[in-house]
Amino acid sequence: MNERVAVVGYKQTKHTIDSPVARERMVYELVKSLYHDMGITKDDIDTFVLASNDFTDGRTISEVFTVPRIGAYMKDETKVEADGLNAALYAYMRILTGLYNTALVIGFSMAGSEFRVPLTQSYTMDPAYERPRGIINFYSTAALQAGAYMKKYKFTDEDLAQLTLKNIRNANNNPFAARKDPGASVEKILGSRPLYLPLREAHVSTYADGACAVVLSSKKTAKKFTDKPVWIDGVGHFMDTYYVGDRDLLAMEHLTAAAKKAYKMAGIKNPKKEIDLAEIHTNFASEEPVLTEALGLFKPGSGKDVVKSGASAITGTLPVNPSGGPLGANPVNATGLIRLAEASAQLRKEAGQNQIKGAKTAVVHAQDGPGAQLNTVFIVRR
Amino acid sequence: MTQETRIIESTWDLTAYQFKIEADALSLFVKGLKDRKILGRKCGTCGTVYVPGPTYCRKCLIDIDQVVEVSQEGRLDAFTVSLADVRGKAVDNPFISCTVKLDGSDSFLMGVLEGWTDWRSVKEGMRVKVVWKDVTQGALADLSHFQLI
């Protein structure tokens, strides 16, 4: 058995809405360059866990063509049909068994150029009640949630625009982000194309082509790879029912439960004080207050105050998505894993212009399903 | 156990799909076929010859760019007498689907085997050669079939 697991290497592509290379080349270049940076070869990796989705990748058993490209030929390999942070969870558990000491985790997507994400996702809705009527989809679920939050807590369109702008500005300084909008403003966001009100085009994450790879190691072998391990000290993974009609979209009890479990594992009693930053998976800007409050990072309903005080900005008391988050790039299936890479960069002081001073503990979050139906939480520390 | 079930009918409309593929391996291979050549790529490190040839070696995880032409003769590796199609429907004229390892290649090419009268006399290890279409145009179908020598 292994007792502690660390992130010992990470790398992401420069995400784009139309990749100049096919996915096979994209993951090959990424992983080779990660191995090179770390001074290792594929032989140093005991097990490989990929994240992709047959539905969104456009073919069944969607990892078969990418597996040999990451060095897993004739090696131990598996796939998670969910976000990359879930793949990291699998890899973490594999290492805990003691059967493996190292794992490469990778998520990749061609969500920018090859498929229409909302349309594809709509076929994952409940086939009996939701899909045939075509009313409920990922967009409308998020819009219902956003509307409910805004009404209950007097969170205005201006507040939402301000929150969106914070993320766009962070993304502008992130060399890996696909979305670059130096001229972004509250006025432009308020005037962007309405989709499902209160949601507008500017609030939507940037569906992108891209990939992210992370190497995990047991404590036993970690120092062989780096003198800056980022320890995974807590994990939680909870789901809510798939049928949207059975869910309280504001309460997000399942995320709170996942977070509590992760905090307990990591020995965190007061996340508001002990967490230095959060990298969370938002498909829409409006999810940020809902998710961060369910994670226990801010008081319920405090979204307006958080925006006004700048608490979640890079210079704030608890920065949220200093990378710009998925508003900067959402290569579906890699998105949550990128949160882990970005948090690791922060804790290792490798986050460039978006570096937060003295960050030691971070919460990392990923979601799947409409309105964050399934959530994964990691607590990572330097 | 039984229960009442019902079928919900709907459509599965994803509209036209796009799929970005790596063109290098396919382009090299079909370009060779047009000139009646079987081209692949060889890894300079482990020596593996891939036909069709990807631009990387999966064993060494390195880029490979050495183009090699392999022989148009080779060895019958495995075969099956196809008496039915993929839906299970009997076919009128049974044919042999086979894999062939051309001399100089480490990959297998798949195709139809001809030049036999009784399939019971076909044996793994027999020598075969490539037969081309009368007109080659740079497509996979340029390679008509394999013929027993």
For A298-327, the pLDDT digits (tens) are 999 999 999 999 999 999 999 999 999 999
Q: How confident is the model at residue A126 (pLDDT cuts 50, 70, 90)?
A: confident
Write the residue in A22, A32, A131 that is nearest to B21 by C-beta: A22
Domain count, chain A: 1
Whether A114 sits inside 8 A of B22 (CB atoms) is: no
In a domain, A178, yes or no: no
Cα separation values, A65 from A113, B63, B68, Å:
18, 16, 24
Write the residue in A71, A114, A116 that is nearest to B20 by C-beta: A114
Minimum Cα–Cα distance from A20: chain B residue:
B20
CA distance to partner chain A, nearest, from residue B107 (Å)? 15
In a domain, A217, yes or no: yes
Please name the helix (run of DSSP H) or strand (run of DSSP E) that holds residue A28, with its range, or none.
helix A23-38
SS3 of residue B113 by DSSP: strand
Q: How high is the pLDDT of residue A124?
A: 82
In a domain, A56, yes or no: yes
In a domain, A79, yes or no: yes
Residue partners of A52: CB distance under 8 A and separation at least 6: A62, A63, A66, A79, A81, A107, A108, A109, A333
Q: Provide the domain limits for residue A40.
A: 5-115+207-225
Residue A66 sits in a domain of what CATH number?
3.40.47.10
For residue B11, pLDDT beyond 90? no
In a domain, A213, yes or no: yes
Q: How high is the pLDDT of residue A9?
A: 98
Going by the DSSP 8-state scheme, the letter that residue B19 receives in this structure is: -
Cα dihedral: A321, A323, A325, A329 (round 10):
180
In a domain, A40, yes or no: yes
For residue B9, pLDDT beyond 90? no
Share of chain A above pLDDT 90, in %: 87
Q: How high is the pLDDT of residue A289?
A: 98
Whether B58 sits inside 8 A of A68 (CB atoms) is: yes
Q: Which of A23-27, A125-129, A337-341, B72-76 has the lowest mean pLDDT?
A: A125-129
B14 to chain A, any CB pair closer than 8 A? The answer is yes
ipTM over 0.90: no
Q: How confident is the model at residue A65 (pLDDT cuts 50, 70, 90)?
A: confident
> Residue A118 burial (CB < 10 Å; 0-12/13-18/19+)?
middle
Q: What is the mean pLDDT of chain B?
A: 93
Q: Please give the structure tokens belonging to residue A269.
A: 């009693």
Q: Which residues of A touch B17 (CB under 8 A)?
A: 58, 114-115
In a domain, A233, yes or no: no
SS3 of residue A326 by DSSP: helix
**Torsional class of A282: left (φ above 0), alpha (ψ -120 to 50), beta (otherwise):** beta
B18 to chain A, any CB pair closer than 8 A? The answer is yes
In a domain, A55, yes or no: yes
Region B99-105: mean pLDDT is 97
The span from the CA of A291 to the CA of A339, in Å, is 14
Q: How high is the pLDDT of residue B15?
A: 65
Whether A58 sits inside 8 A of B15 (CB atoms) is: no
For residue B12, pLDDT beyond 80? no
Pairing of strands A102-110, A209-218: antiparallel
Whether A115 sits inside 8 A of B56 (CB atoms) is: no
